[in-house]
């Protein structure tokens, strides 16, 4: 690295590699202190590229030997690259042998080869392979891999890598070996190895085509009883990809390995997925319904990458959404299809949109805003974002909307016919979907549609309606715009599919359909409309936009009661709540305790809660007030304390005034019988949990001890973690005196369950702030013997739960939250830059903060940015945050 001078990479600079690597044979002598890696490659010049020296990437490696065709050769080490100039001319293949060592036990970045709980794991995406050996560490160089692993047999009885096990045996000195061959060419980021003392749940399956496959889920010895759900999810994923898209499992063996030290959720290495334990281990005693659902979707996601990502991969990292947006779309569809029923599908859709709007919309409006296909980066790990993933998935979803479900499946088929085995671009993907549907709107508007890939920012659609009683017409005008984002001042109109319906005064559906908005402004006329309708716009959240329409309360209440589109039914309730929250927030003269919600709103909420046929899961979503961060996005100047106080006051009033209804909901939806994490029973548990939380909150105001007592009882007796944790959370968030003994008891029961302890830490760090009590509690939690900042899950459970998920506690008037943040960013950066950079983003939206918070936040960011020794990861985030 040229001191402090860090190089930005631009998409426009892409050039094909000067060399290809056809095959690579890796031999590992695994040792935590010093691992030897012998790398034998067959390379050839890419005759389509200009003649150039070979520059291999390598980081924190000790180089021992370089041989070309078996002979010593001259080389240079420059900027983390090994440079070879005297290579054979012409297009013939030559051998390159490189011997290096690395230090896995010292690897706290958890990129490359590292040690966790005395086992070896790897993480190579995006650029971790260069920490294992010198290589062309870029996704468009795809090679055949053969891997030989050698290690102490007693300490590391299991030796795994990608593909098929072709040989294994014992060596001298208590060591043993295993040899793996991957039958598919792959880029280096999909390489993986695991060595350790692990056990596996195994399952043999016969796929549709008749082929046998071995499925394995590897975990530490005590965890085998928590692998059934992951295995079931894997089998469901295999069956689904075959049934829905005709994509079979292409390997004899498919392995999942869980590790408790992992920077993100999981990794799709070919045939050897490595997972954060959080997305593998589940039992009813230790995991919540949300954990079960997340495991299903992450196992699905990584498995689906086997085709979308691995068989067809990215040409360069700017194309990341090619695999991530598409694969998120696929995992969302998978979860919806497994949920089955229309209302359960809608619940999943609402949950996905909620993530998009509370996390991606702010990203799109902040200093890190970037297109789904970014144009530049300093550190690619900073671009594994909600924009690339979740907005990317919405872009794929819009394509499916524009060509239909069958048309989309046809498009995917053509995509694989064209590109299987290659590294391609987002353009290639969109082209395949369009070409397979030549008569579609997508094909007609492809160039304009692709602005979703190139333009950052969330478009706004401003709608207005005009009813003409004499002409019996309703005219709906839709106008789109998109605010500038860093580096993009002018935006061209997007292609926006808008799901539409008109709902009559009596609740009848008068019209429904899909309009594709392409101009800046368009007006639609509906004929034969007998009375003024209520428009239901953007049904199913048909595009990732902000919809503005001046709904009256009466209109929203009508939609909440009658809309046939469950998404917009939920949305109507959210709008009612947001409008009220914004009104109270702006009404600065009114103290939070004097806030009064109006009877129409209370009645509408009560009607949903009491509704005879609505699902419990749906009721829980409607009764959940919009998140503080979502409310903040609707404001130009943000006072997190005021938002928190207003939202809490609204919550308390709903708790108190609907108390009889909460009681009834609690009694009616109590589950008996065996635990099953299916959508219906999870929905019932979610609603009883919410009811209990409200009843404890109501009791707090009245001083009544009945419901806290019942919550404590339930906490003690619960037969599953969902009910137990909800009861604990009800005590903690309502500030009950029973919270402390319950927390103590919870810790005693689960002291050996790391993932459960993460919940215990997170609950306390995320608790509603009362008089500034959370920050001291967080500092104390960091001194707890079970706290370990090097473990990403644990760091997230305390530090992120406070800085990123507890705005009321974090944005303290005395700025102590920001000081804490800057200290932790720096502390983490020295250990694990990827985790540090995520934390750095907690202050992304500082410019919107009310003074003096704004100045205090700026100062805290500037303090971090002033450090000369920052990682590229953190430097990029804080530099962009401070830019004008």
Residue 194 binds what, of ligand B3K, Zn ion, none (CB under 5 to 8 Å, by partner type)? Answer: none
CA–CA dist 386, 590 (Å, integer) = 36
Angstrom distance (rounded) from CA 124 to CA 110: 9
Q: Which does 126 bind (CB under 5 to 8 A by kind): ligand B3K, Zn ion, none?
A: ligand B3K
**Closest CB to ligand B3K among residues 80, 512:** 80
Alpha helix segments (H runs only) across 340-388: 342-355, 361-365, 386
Quick one: which H or E segment has residue 481? strand 473-481
- Per CB under 6 A, does 384 bind ligand B3K? yes
268 makes contact with ligand B3K (CB under 6 A): yes
User: How many of the chain's residues bind ligand B3K (CB under 6 A)?
Assistant: 12
Smallest distance, ligand B3K to C-beta of residue 263, A:
6
The alpha-helical segments, DSSP class H, found in 517-565 are 553-562
Please choose, out of 298-306, 578-586, 637-645, 715-723, the segment that lies near ligand B3K by the rule CB under 6 A: 298-306
Interface with ligand B3K includes 264 (CB under 6 A)?
Answer: yes
The binder of ligand B3K chosen from 59, 241, 296, 302 (CB under 6 A): 302
CB of 302: closest distance to Zn ion in angstroms?
Answer: 7
Nearer to ligand B3K by Cβ, of 315 and 684: the residue is 315
Give me the phi and psi of 792, to 5 degrees please: -55, -40
> Does residue 301 touch ligand B3K according to CB under 6 A?
yes
Distance, CA of 608 to CA of 559 (rounded, Å): 12
CB of 219 to Zn ion, least distance (A): 22
Identify residues 306-335 at the interface with Zn ion (CB under 5 A). Answer: 324, 327
Please state, in angstroms and rounded to a whole number, the distance separating the CA atoms of residues 345 and 654.
27
Angle, in degrees to the nearest 10, between helices 872-882 and 853-865: 140
Of 302 and 615, the one with the shorter C-beta distance to ligand B3K is 302
140 binds, among ligand B3K, Zn ion, none (CB under 5 to 8 A by kind): none
Distance of CA 125 to the CA centre of its chain: 16
**Widest Cα–Cα separation across the chain:** 95
Cβ(19)–Cβ(43) below 8 Å: yes
Kindly calculate the radius of gyration of the chain based on its CA atoms and give it in whole angstroms: 28
Q: From the list ligand B3K, Zn ion, none, which binds 364 (C-beta under 5 to 8 Å, kind-based)?
A: none
What phi and psi values does residue 165 have, to the nearest 5 degrees?
A: -80, 115
Alpha-carbon span 122 to 125, nearest angstrom: 10
Q: Which residue has the tokens 């990203």?
A: 363
Query: How far apart (Å, rounded) are the C-alpha atoms in residues 583 and 590?
Result: 11
Find the shortest distance in angstroms from Cβ 276 to Zn ion: 13
Question: Is the Cβ of residue 41 or residue 298 nearer to ligand B3K in the bound state?
Answer: 298
Instruction: Work out how close the CB of 328 gets to ligand B3K at its nearest, in angstroms, rounded to a whole number.
Output: 8
Q: Which is nearer to Zn ion, 310 or 682 (CB)?
A: 310
Q: In whole angstroms, how close is the CB of 124 to ligand B3K at the nearest point?
A: 9
Q: Which residues contact 283 (CB under 8 A, 6 or more apart)?
A: 225, 226
> Which value, to the nearest 10 degrees, does the dihedral of the CA atoms of residues 451, 456, 457, 459 take?
0
By three-state DSSP, how is residue 19 classified? strand
> What is the Cα–Cα distance from 776 to 665, expressed in whole angstroms?
36
Decide whether 309 or 626 has the Cβ nearer to ligand B3K: 309
Q: Which stretch binds ligand B3K (CB under 6 A): 262-270, 363-371, 532-540, 567-575?
A: 262-270
How many Å apart are CA 652 and CA 693, to the nearest integer?
Answer: 10
- Beta partners for residue 119, in sequence order: 116
Q: Select the binding partner of residue 125 from Zn ion, ligand B3K, none (C-beta < 5 to 8 A, by kind).
A: ligand B3K
Please, what is the Cα angle at 629 between 797 and 387, to 5 degrees?
80
Q: Where are the beta strands (DSSP E) in 807-859?
A: none
Q: Which is nearer to Zn ion, 126 or 193 (CB)?
A: 126
Cβ nearer to ligand B3K, comparing 303 with 601: 303
Give phi and psi for 669, each to the nearest 5: -105, 10
Nearest of 91, 195, 200 to residue 149 by alpha carbon: 195
Contact between 318 and ligand B3K by CB under 6 A: the answer reads no
Q: Which is nearer to ligand B3K, 364 or 379 (CB)?
A: 379
Q: Within 8-67, which residues bind Zn ion (CB under 5 A)?
A: none
Is 769 a residue that touches ligand B3K (CB under 6 A)?
A: no
How far is the C-alpha of 252 from the C-alpha of 282, rounded, in Å? 26
> In the complex, what is the shortest distance from the CB of residue 485 to ligand B3K, in angstroms, rounded to a whole number?
23
Nearest CA to 302 out of 281, 338, 276, 282 is that of 276
Q: Terminal CA-to-CA distance of the chain, rounded, Å?
A: 27
Catalytic residue among 127, 268, 296, 302: 302
**105 to 164, contacts with ligand B3K by CB under 6 A?**
125-126
Q: Is residue 571 involved in binding ligand B3K (CB under 6 A)?
A: no
DSSP H/E element including 158: strand 158-161
* Candidate list 57, 291, 316, 324; residue touching ligand B3K; CB under 6 A: 324
Least distance in Å: CB of 201 to ligand B3K?
22
Q: In whole angstroms, how close is the CB of 111 to ligand B3K at the nearest point? A: 8
- Select the span of 159-167, 299-307, 592-600, 743-751 touching ligand B3K (CB under 6 A): 299-307
Tokens of 133: 């050996």
CA dihedral (640, 643, 649, 654) positive or negative? negative
Task: Name the one range near ligand B3K by CB under 6 A: 9-17, 58-66, 209-217, 300-308.
Answer: 300-308
274 versus 778: smaller Cβ distance to ligand B3K:
274
326 binds ligand B3K (CB under 6 A): no
Q: Is 267 in the site for ligand B3K (CB under 6 A)?
A: yes
394 near ligand B3K (CB under 6 A):
no
CB of 766 to ligand B3K, least distance (A): 25
Q: Please indicate whether residue 363 is annotated as part of the active site.
A: no
CA trace torsion 351, 354, 360, 362 (10° rounding): -160
* Cβ proximity to ligand B3K, 150 vs 301, nearer residue: 301
The nearest distance, CB 530 to Zn ion, in angstroms, is 50
127 binds, among ligand B3K, Zn ion, none (CB under 5 to 8 A by kind): none
State the pairing for strand pair 272-276/253-259: parallel
Binding site for Zn ion (CB under 5 A): 324, 327
Looking at the annotation, which residues are catalytic?
A: 302
Binding site for ligand B3K (CB under 6 A): 125-126, 264, 266-268, 301-302, 305, 324, 381, 384
């Amino acid at each position: 690295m040229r001191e402090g001078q860090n190089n930005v990479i631009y998409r426009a600079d892409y050039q094909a590699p000067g060399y290809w690597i056809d095959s690579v044979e890796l031999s590992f002598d695994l040792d935590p202190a010093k691992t030897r890696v012998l790398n034998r490659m067959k390379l050839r010049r890419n005759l389509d590229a200009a003649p150039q020296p070979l520059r291999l990437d390598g980081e924190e490696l000790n180089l021992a030997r370089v041989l070309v065709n078996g002979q010593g050769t001259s080389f240079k080490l420059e900027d983390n690259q090994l440079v070879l100039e005297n290579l054979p001319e012409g297009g013939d293949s030559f051998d390159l042998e490189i011997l290096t060592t690395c230090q896995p036990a010292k690897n706290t970045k958890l990129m490359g080869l590292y040690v966790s709980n005395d086992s070896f794991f790897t993480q190579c995406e995006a650029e971790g392979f260069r920490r294992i050996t010198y290589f062309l560490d870029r996704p468009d160089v795809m090679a055949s891999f053969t891997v030989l692993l050698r290690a102490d047999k007693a300490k590391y009885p299991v030796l795994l890598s990608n593909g098929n096990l072709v040989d294994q045996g014992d060596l001298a000195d208590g060591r043993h070996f295993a040899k793996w061959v991957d039958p598919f060419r792959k880029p280096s980021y999909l390489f993986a190895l695991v060595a350790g003392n692990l056990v596996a749940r195994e399952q043999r399956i016969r796929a549709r085509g008749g082929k046998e496959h071995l499925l394995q889920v590897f975990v530490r010895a005590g965890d085998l009883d928590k692998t059934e759900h992951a295995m079931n999810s894997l089998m469901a994923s295999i069956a689904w990809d075959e049934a829905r898209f005709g994509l079979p499992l292409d390997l004899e063996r498919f392995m999942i390995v869980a590790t408790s030290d992992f920077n993100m959720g999981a990794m799709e290495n070919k045939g050897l997925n490595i997972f954060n334990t959080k997305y593998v281990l589940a039992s009813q005693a230790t995991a919540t319904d949300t954990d079960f659902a997340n495991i299903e979707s992450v196992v699905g996601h990584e498995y689906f990458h086997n085709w979308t990502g691995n068989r067809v991969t990215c040409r360069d990292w700017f194309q990341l959404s090619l695999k991530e947006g598409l694969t998120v779309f696929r995992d969302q569809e998978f979860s919806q299809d497994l949920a089955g029923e229309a209302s359960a599908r809608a619940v999943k859709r609402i949950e996905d949109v909620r993530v998009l709007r509370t996390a991606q919309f702010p990203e799109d409006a902040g200093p890190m805003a970037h297109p789904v296909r970014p144009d530049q980066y300093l550190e690619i790990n900073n671009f594994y974002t909600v924009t690339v993933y979740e907005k990317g998935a919405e872009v794929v979803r819009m394509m499916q909307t524009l060509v239909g479900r069958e048309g989309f499946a046809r498009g995917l088929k053509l995509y694989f016919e064209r590109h299987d085995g290659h590294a391609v671009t987002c353009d290639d993907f969109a082209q395949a979907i369009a070409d397979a549907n030549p008569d579609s709107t997508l094909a007609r508007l492809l160039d304009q549609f692709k602005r979703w890939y190139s333009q950052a920012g969330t478009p706004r659609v401003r709608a207005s309606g005009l009813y003409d009683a004499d002409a019996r017409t309703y005219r709906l005008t839709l106008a789109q715009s998109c605010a500038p984002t860093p580096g993009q001042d002018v935006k061209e109109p997007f292609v926006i599919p808008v799901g539409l319906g008109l709902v009559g005064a009596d609740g009848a559906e008068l019209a429904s359909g899909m309009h594709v908005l392409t101009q800046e402004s368009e007006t639609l006329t509906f004929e034969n409309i007998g009375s003024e309708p209520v428009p239901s716009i953007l049904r199913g959240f048909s595009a990732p936009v902000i919809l503005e329409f001046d709904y009256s309360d009466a209109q929203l209440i009508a939609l909440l009661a009658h809309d046939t589109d469950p998404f917009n039914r939920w949305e109507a309730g959210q709008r009612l709540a947001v409008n009220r929250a914004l009104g109270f927030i702006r009404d600065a003269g009114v103290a939070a305790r004097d806030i009064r919600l109006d009877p129409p709103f209370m009645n509408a909420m009560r009607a949903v809660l009491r509704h005879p046929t609505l699902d419990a899961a749906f009721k829980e979503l409607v009764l959940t007030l919009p998140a503080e961060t979502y409310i903040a996005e609707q404001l130009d100047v943000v006072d997190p304390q005021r938002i928190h106080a207003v939202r809490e006051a609204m919550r308390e009033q709903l708790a108190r005034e609907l108390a009889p209804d909460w009681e009834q909901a609690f009694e009616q939806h109590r589950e008996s019988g065996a635990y099953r994490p299916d959508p219906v029973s999870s929905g019932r548990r979610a609603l009883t949990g919410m009811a209990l939380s409200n009843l404890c909150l109501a009791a707090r105001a009245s001083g009544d001890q009945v419901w806290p007592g019942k919550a404590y009882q339930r906490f003690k007796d619960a037969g599953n973690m969902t009910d137990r944790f909800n009861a604990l959370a009800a005590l903690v968030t309502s500030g009950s005196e029973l919270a402390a003994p319950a927390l103590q008891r919870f810790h005693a029961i689960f002291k050996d369950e790391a993932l459960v302890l993460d919940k215990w830490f997170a609950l306390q760090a995320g608790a509603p702030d009362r008089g500034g009590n959370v920050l001291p509690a967080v500092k104390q939690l960091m001194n707890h013997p079970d706290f370990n900042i090097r473990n990403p899950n644990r760091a997230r459970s305390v530090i992120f739960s406070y800085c990123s998920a507890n705005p009321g506690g974090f944005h303290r008037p005395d700025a102590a939250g920001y000081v804490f943040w800057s200290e932790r960013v720096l502390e983490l950066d020295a250990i694990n830059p990827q985790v540090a950079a995520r934390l750095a983003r907690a202050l992304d939206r500082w410019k919107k903060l009310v003074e003096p918070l704004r100045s205090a936040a700026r100062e805290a960011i500037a303090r971090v940015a002033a450090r000369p020794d920052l990682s590229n990861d953190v430097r990029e985030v804080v530099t962009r945050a401070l830019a004008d």
